[in-house]
Amino acid sequence: MPDEESQHRHILTFNFRQGRNKPRHDEAFASLWPRYGLEWAPGEGRIDFAKLFGREAPLVLEIGSGNGEAAAAMGAADRDRDLLAVEVYPQGIADLMDRAEERGLTNLRIYQGDALPLLWEALAPESLDEVRVYFPDPWPKKRHHKRRIIQPEHVRTLSGLLRPGGVFHCATDIADYADQMLEVLTAEPTLENTAEDFAPRPDHRPVTKFERRGVKAGREIFDLLFRKR
């Protein structure tokens, strides 16, 4: 884990662009955030997830849930596990809460903010059953590649949060980022690839509107499935 000074000056892995909320977004926050939102701030220590969800269950972390299409569908299909979704954009969070409400999800909580302090402070070692990073910000310019979430130090942190046998699942439609992901994940000694190279898209990961746009634009989709040793 980075020291305190490093944590305060860490490089952000997202570029926050504040859009304008639509009335339905504001309504979702007003009515649904008390149910689905996770109030936590750096310095508050570890989260008691059994208390948060009202039960003891395997915990899945999704970093960058976007508009929540995948998170809501996977949460509905896998109600025996709890899902913590992390997202910075309020519009996406509002959409996810609406989707969760439509499905009657009780196994979802959402944290709005930078995922890195959450990883460093709020989660116990070997407390996660799975980590999901689907279509993260690709930071296409080479000088910005250091901002990508899949970096050796972040992967090392995330692997430490996975239980033995836990799954680290990434997906992207950016070929050079896929290559970087494969290199970084392969180099982490506590992880092993479940495939010889990239993995076939697992049936349980839904094809989202965002992914369909990428395919329509001619981009290949890359899945990477690694397991904690």
> Quick count: other Cβ atoms within 10 Å of Cβ 151?
16
How far is it, in rounded angstroms, from Cα 159 to Cα 165? 11
- The residue annotated as part of the active site, out of 26, 137, 176, 203, is 137
How far is it, in rounded angstroms, from Cα 119 to Cα 16? 19
How far is it, in rounded angstroms, from Cα 60 to Cα 129? 6
Please, what's the largest Cα pairwise distance for the chain? 48
How far is it, in rounded angstroms, from Cα 164 to Cα 115? 22
197 has catalytic annotation: no
In sequence order, what are the beta bridge partners of 39? none
Residues designated catalytic: 137
